[in-house]
Amino acid sequence: MKTAALTLNFLALTVALAAYGQVDTLIYGGTVLVTPGEKPLQAQTLLIEKGQIVRIDSGYKSALELELNDVDVIDLKDSYLLPGLIDMHVHLTFERDPNANPHRWLTQEDADQALTALPYLARTLNAGFTTVRDLGGSYKVIFPLKRAVNAHTIKGPRIFAAGDFISASGGHGDLHGYRHDVTELFTGGLGICNGADDCRRAVREVIKSGADVIKITATGGVLSNTAAGVKQQLTDAELRAIVETAHRLGRKVTAHAHGTDGINAAIRAGVDSIEHGSYLNKESITLFKKHGTYLVPTLLAGATVTEEVLTNPAMPPAIVDKVKQVAPLMESAFRSALKHRINIAFGTDSGVSKHGDNSKEFALMVRYGMTPQQAIVSATRSAAQLLGQQNRIGDLEPGKYADIIAVKGDPEQNIQLLSKVHFVMKEGVVYKHEKSHSD
Ligand SMILES: [Zn+2]
């Protein structure tokens, strides 16, 4: 108990010091991608006040020229600046580790989970991801973490979180792999529901617990330890009830969906996005376009579990079978979505992969046919749009949050550069600035 409190106090102190250094800031940017998807501008001066970009001028303007008194100046004339990256699918409260005790959830308190997550949050922010959407983690852990970030008590990205999944009993979001009375005791949480009315109740309870967005498991999933396949698990009536209730309460809905029937039923019911979308077909494409639904492809999750099948002999057979079925389909689903110009927003499912490796998704997107420019748009403007936060984040126009990252060289030529972010500012506070230019 005491050790935990001390650790938190120490973190609080270091982060608070950075935060309270907040005076107005001038940034000189060599190349600035103000609006992803458009041409970057050369030699710009950005003025940051109270965490926001308030003006951008061509050329390098001095404080005197801009009639400013007390400003910090950050010189990034040798760098390429772009908006902070946005990951639409992470799980900050855990990280898969084939070597860890698989039953540790039985011994850990909620506070253990939260403390374990602190480095995950820091790594994510250090990697240049200034905003994330957390799609599933106990409400007892993820919302306190989000509040601590907002209070500048701990270091991490801005978090929009789902909290507990909405799932059918025995569905992908429920607990599996133990005797029945154990799973009864530790069942999937607030969001387990059966029947339309019960699912309305679950949505209301999850929102009451603090959810910014509703995450549903419309179909089976790969990493639940049950040989139940990846077909539709919530009924059409349940899906409609969930979406209607969430939208009335001002929350978007995103559906974990692999199987074709579940993807199509979820889109018809009006969800705002589909996670994974592995078995999408022609009809799905038509539905995506008709409803303006987003796809969050999570290619990195597919690549990560495919590798784990080869290296982890302890992976349960029910999971191995589903990995072999589903992972190879993710590339063709992505290519098809791209070809038909479906809305695509960047998401990694980090937690399945290591936190802080989020930018590996870019390389996969480009390998499977996106231009680097399209990949950057998916992690900035498109993600902001899907979050409903396009007035605050996603580009560097005046009025937006000062979420700014920098790399050396042009990421629109070489997307791999996004794994070498050397400067990270979130809401006007500098969290990373490596001045040695060895990379
Ligand atoms: Zn996930």
Neighbouring CB atoms inside 10 A of 153's CB total 19
Output the CA 346–ligand 1 centroid distance in Å: 13
DSSP string, 234-246: S-HHHHHHHHHHH
CA 325 – ligand 1 centroid, Å: 18
How far apart, in whole angstroms, are the C-alpha atoms of residue 150 and residue 157? 9
- DSSP label at residue 199: H
> Do β-strands 294-296 and 273-276 pair in parallel, antiparallel, or remain unpaired?
parallel
pLDDT tens profile 201-224: 999 999 999 999 999 999 988 777
Domains of the chain listed by start with CATH number: 2-84+395-433 (2.30.40.10), 85-387 (3.20.20.140)
Distance 181 CA to ligand 1 centre (A): 26
How far is CA 209 from its chain centroid?
20
Cα-to-centroid distance, 164 and ligand 1 (Å):
12
Tallying the residues shown for the chain, one arrives at 439
Share of the chain above pLDDT 90, in %: 76
What is the distance in A from the centroid of ligand 1 to the CA of 268?
Answer: 22
Beta bridge partners of 85: 129
| Secondary element (H or E) of residue 337 | helix 329-339
Q: How far is the CA of 329 from the centre of ligand 1 (A)?
A: 17
How many CB atoms are located within 10 Å of the residue 426 CB?
25
Looking at residue 74, its amino acid is I
Question: 19 and 155 in contact (C-beta within 8 Å)?
Answer: no
pLDDT at 260: 94
Tell me the CA–centroid distance for residue 303 and ligand 1, in Å.
Answer: 14
Give the chain's residues under pLDDT 70: 1-22, 188, 436-439
Give the closest residue to 135 by CA, choosing from 340, 324, 301, 335: 301
Q: Do the Cβ atoms of 33 and 80 come closer than 8 Å?
A: yes
In angstroms, what is the span from residue 353 Cα to ligand 1's centroid? 10
Distance 91 CA to ligand 1 centre (A): 6
Residue 376's Cβ-side half-sphere holds a number of Cα atoms within 13 Å equal to 28
The HSE-up count of residue 378 (CA atoms within 13 Å, CB side) is 31
Distances in whole angstroms, Cα of residue 248 to Cα of each of 22, 76, 242: 38, 45, 10
Kindly report the CA angle at 172 between 166 and 176, in degrees rounded to 5?
A: 115
Q: How far is the CA of 135 from the centre of ligand 1 (A)?
A: 6
* CA 194 – ligand 1 centroid, Å: 22
Task: Specify the DSSP class assigned to residue 394.
Answer: S
Which residues are registered as beta bridge partners of 133? 160
DSSP helix/strand/coil, 200:
helix
Adjacency order of strands within the sheet including 294-296: 213-217, 252-257, 273-276, 294-296, 343-344
Alpha carbon of 301 to ligand 1 centroid (Å) = 8
- Determine the distance separating the centroid of ligand 1 and the alpha carbon of 9, expressed in angstroms: 31
Please, is 346 exposed, middle or buried when counting C-beta atoms within 10 Å of its C-beta (0-12, 13-18, 19+)? buried
Q: How far is the CA of 347 from the centre of ligand 1 (A)?
A: 9
Helix ranges restricted to H, 21-160: 110-126, 139-150
How many Å lie between the centroid of ligand 1 and the Cα of residue 378?
A: 18
Q: 144: CA distance to ligand 1 center in Å? A: 20
User: If you measure from the C-alpha of residue 420 to the centroid of ligand 1, how many angstroms do you get, rounded to a whole number?
Assistant: 25
- Measured in angstroms, how far is the CA atom of residue 90 from the centroid of ligand 1? 6
What is the CA(178)–ligand 1 centre distance, in A? 21
Residue-wise pLDDT for 399-436, tens only, equals: 999 999 999 999 999 999 999 999 999 999 999 999 86
Distance CA 372, CA 362 (A): 8
